[in-house]
Amino acid sequence: MANPKAVTLSNDPKGVVIAWDDGHTSTYAFPYLRKACPCAMCKGERTPLDTNPLALPAFPNLKPGSFDAKDMFKVGRYALGFRWGDGHNAGIYTWDYLRKMCPCEACLSQ
Q: Measured between alpha carbons, how far is 37 from 61 in angstroms, rounded to an integer? A: 13
Q: Is 52 helix (H, G, I), strand (E, B) or coil?
A: coil
CA pair distance 43, 50, nearest whole angstrom: 11
What is the sign of the dihedral through the CA atoms of 54, 59, 64 and 69?
A: negative
**pLDDT in single tens digits along all 110 residues of the chain:** 789 999 999 999 999 999 999 999 999 999 999 989 998 888 766 555 555 655 544 555 667 788 889 999 999 999 999 999 988 999 999 999 999 999 999 999 98
Question: What is the pLDDT at residue 49?
Answer: 55
Element (H or E) spanning 34, and its range?
A: helix 30-35
Distance in angstroms between the alpha carbons of the first and the last residue of the chain: 17
